[in-house]
Amino acid sequence: MPTKSRFLKVPVEPFVVEPGLTAEQILERMEKISFQGRNLAAAYRVWLRMLESDATIFLGVAGALSAGGLRLILAHLISNRYVDCLVATGAILYHDLHETRGRLHFIGSPDEDDEALKAERVDRVYDTFVSEDEFVENDAWIARFVATLAPRPFSTREFLYRLGEHLWKETGREGVLTAAYRASVPVFCPAIADSSIGMGISEARHEDRSVGHLDTIADIIELTNLVIRRQKTASIVLGGGTPKNFINQARVQAECFRPGIGGHECALQIITDSPQRGGLSGSSLNEAASWGKLNCGAERVTVHADITIALPLVATALSATASKSLAARQAPVFDLAGRVMVVDGVALPDNRFEESE
């Protein structure tokens, strides 16, 4: 009888359907199936191990997650410190602001007549509808808020903290920005100009050229200094885009000022893009290691899946299993009220990198 191959060790176990399975039980069974189901189960385990470590966890989010109904999952992750720092696109934050202000997105269809939608000033995000008139009013609301700020440059982190504060005091409603404000979790938006938040800021600048000045280079310095200060980091990316690179390039930038600091110690990403076309959103975590963004021996997992399918399942499972890890972990403590971010009681350098002594 031929010797059994060393590759044929662990059999696939067919998923057995049973009533009443919890999210964590479903993911546990998915560990023994194949393809993206197995990868999603692995991502859940990796996130749990991040929480069991003392790593500073960065979350990057892109796409239409807020419009698509996931904003309160993101708020839950922030409020309960499943993550320590958020890097988001402007769309994530703007659609969140829209609903936090009491407006809604509506169930629609990708097959609707777009000319008819335009005639009624209804915008479409694939199968989701929203009022253009309400967006115009949001922009004006943002412009009025910007006009109240001091006539000086703001990092997006400071600006978004203040925006979250204003939104909370005006509405008292839960959302991404208000959760980050209340939990003192920093939020960066490196491409803020590419969003309706940027449009609202530009309207304020139109009325008063002394306001509406955002300094995204200050964001680079501040995020890099956070990596230098809290050197053990982990990366979670939902959707790729600008946030993915912004989180990862902080490790590369930190290496310039702290040689040998290395990359993230752990990473997971849930994306829909593929790596073959060379775009960053679909780039593999193995590729990230070649740049020094991720340590070569770091635990990593990529899930190729729609985030509206994957995230509710993973977040629900974590809510049932991560409570002890959340209670025990030593998360960074931030003071975000000033122009300079304070981490664990010590201010980061002001507009310069923290160099080796």
Q: Kindly write down the DSSP assignment for every residue of 170-185, as one continuous string.
A: HH----HHHHHHHHT-
CA angle 76/132/154 to nearest 5° reads 55
Contact yes or no for 164/172 (Cβ under 8 A): no
> Is-contact 255 261, C-beta < 8 A?
yes
User: CB within 8 A of 75, min separation 6: which ones?
Assistant: 174, 175, 176, 178, 179
Catalytic hit among 169, 244, 293, 324: 293
Contact 191/90 with Cβ under 8 angstroms?
yes
The tokens describing 96, both together, are: 């969140």
pLDDT value, residue 164: 98
Alpha carbon distance 174, 184 (integer Å): 14
Tell me the CB-side half-sphere exposure of residue 113, using CA atoms within 13 A: 4
Q: Give the SS3 label for residue 159.
A: helix
Report the run of H or E that residue 33 belongs to, with start and end: none
At 94, the amino acid letter reads Y
Concerning whether 9 is annotated as a catalytic residue, the answer is no
What sign for the dihedral angle of Cα 254, 255, 258, 261?
positive
168-173 long-range contacts (CB < 8 A, ≥24 apart) are: 170/101, 171/100, 171/101, 171/102, 173/100, 173/101, 173/102
d(CA 4, CA 295): 35
In 105-240, alpha helices (H): 114-119, 132-146, 156-171, 176-183, 196-207, 216-229
Give pLDDT tens digits along the chain (357 positions).
566 899 999 999 999 999 999 999 999 999 999 999 999 999 999 999 999 999 999 999 999 999 999 999 999 999 999 999 999 999 999 999 999 999 999 999 999 999 999 999 999 999 999 999 999 999 999 999 999 999 999 999 999 999 999 999 999 999 999 999 999 999 999 999 999 999 999 999 999 999 999 999 999 999 999 999 999 999 999 998 999 999 999 999 999 999 999 999 999 999 999 999 999 899 999 999 999 999 999 999 999 999 999 999 999 999 999 999 999 999 999 999 999 999 999 999 999 999 876
Structural class in CATH, domain 23-327: alpha beta
Q: Are 318 and 329 in contact (CB under 8 A)?
A: no
Look at residue 2 in the predicted model and tell me its pLDDT: 66
User: How far apart are alpha carbons 281 and 217 in whole angstroms?
Assistant: 22
Q: DSSP letter at 186?
A: -
CA distances from 257 to 219, 262, 334 (A): 16, 11, 22
User: What pLDDT does residue 4 have?
Assistant: 86
Domain-by-domain residue ranges, the chain? Answer: 23-327
State the alpha helices, DSSP H only, in 208-294. 216-229, 241-257, 285-291
Beta pairing class for 106-107 and 233-238? unpaired
d(CA 260, CA 254): 9
Please give the pLDDT value at position 192.
Answer: 98
What are the b/e assignments for 289-308, b being 16+ CB within 10 Å? beebbbbeebbbbbbbbebe
Measured CA to CA, the distance from residue 98 to residue 105 in angstroms comes to: 9
